[in-house]
Amino acid sequence: MSTLEPVAGSWRVTLDRGSGATAVEDFAEFVRQALPGLLRYGHMLTGNPHDAADLVQTVLEKLGSRWSSIVRKTGDPVAYARKAMANTNISRWRRTRRESLIADLPDRPAAAEPDPFDNEPLWEALRGLPPRQRAVMVMRYYDDLSEADIAAALGISRGTVKSQTSKAMANLRARLGTSIGGA
């Protein structure tokens, strides 16, 4: 069986091979322990819980097929999963950025549960950011990662992290300044 332990702002998976646990059991335990945090992280990246669940599922499918290698090579599968989530979210956004047309309109609109963050000014402002800026902001201020860690996770330079953070902050200030009374 494996255990997930906090280590200096990150997570470490400890595998107990003496109990006869398989890689499948280790991965299942990892998912049980890390899923709530990955869903919250995905929500911050995508802007809504439904896309977050899809993103987490896509990434966990990829991780599950390579679990033994990931644990052996990275030592921090949660960080690896978060990096994969950020990259997958950006790739998905690039692929679906074009408008997709449908042939027939539905008879009636589907009833969706209201998102509790729909009317929150900060969430609305975060949703309005481009995916890379949103990923940098989430990793910097939600995950509390350094510029070097973010650059390594996203495969960009530290200068790009700084510029994306600066642009995102300016964008958020502009959006939130008007909704908070110009403060």
pLDDT digits (tens, 9 = 90+) for 33-42: 999 999 999 9
Task: Specify burial of residue 55 (Cβ count, 10 A radius: 0-12, 13-18, 19+).
Answer: buried
pLDDT digits (tens, 9 = 90+) for 136-171: 998 898 888 899 989 988 889 999 999 999 999 999
Is residue 100 domain-resident?
no
The DSSP code sequence of 23-92 is HHHHHHHHHHHHHHHHHHHHHHHHSSHHHHHHHHHHHHHHHHHTHHHHHHHHS-HHHHHHHHHHHHHHHH
Q: Which domain holds residue 176?
A: 118-183
Supply the DSSP symbol for 129: S
**Structural domains in the chain (count):** 2
Nearest to 24 by CA among 65, 56, 53, 52: 65
Q: Any idea which of 3-12, 19-28, 65-74, 106-115 has the lowest mean pLDDT?
A: 3-12
Q: Are residues 71 and 122 in the same domain?
A: no
pLDDT at 102: 65
What is the spatial distance between Cα 30 and Cα 20, in angstroms, rounded to a whole number?
16
Is residue 162 domain-resident?
yes
Gap between the terminal Cα atoms of the chain: 51
- Here the CATH number for the domain that contains residue 33 is 1.10.1740
Q: What pTM was estimated for this model as a whole?
A: 0.55
Q: Are residues 90 and 126 in the same domain?
A: no
Q: Are residues 37 and 126 in the same domain?
A: no
Q: What is the mean pLDDT of the chain?
A: 81
Nearest to 80 by CA among 91, 90, 69, 95: 69
Which tokens is 136 given?
Answer: 């940098």
